[in-house]
Amino acid sequence: MPRVTKNLSLDPAAVERGERYSERHAKSLSQVVSDFLLRLPLDEEEPDLTPAVRRLVGIAEGADPEDYRRHLREKYG
């Protein structure tokens, strides 16, 4: 795949952190940034959730937090 050259303005602390990370993982800073950008979710993509988490999503929707607090007070005093 051909490479594209981009000029980025980054915080010096972020660059330093990225350079340390890239040295520890034997990658170039460009590769670290590229890997990060490729992992960003796009709006139309569904997040990668485990099957257990997918089953739980939305299960508590509409639940009243005060009901839960009352339950805890009754159970634990």
The pLDDT value given to residue 47: 66
The pLDDT value given to residue 19: 96
Write the DSSP assignment of 32-43 as a string of letters.
HHHHHHHHSPPT
CA gap 68, 63 in Å, rounded: 8
- pTM: predicted TM-score of the whole model, two decimal places: 0.54
| pLDDT level of residue 16 (50, 70, 90 thresholds) | very high
With beta carbons less than 8 A apart as the criterion, state whether 5 and 11 touch: no
Whole-Å CA distances, 45 to 7, 17, 29, 37, 55: 28, 29, 27, 14, 18
Among 38, 33, 26, which residue's Cα sits nearest to residue 6?
33
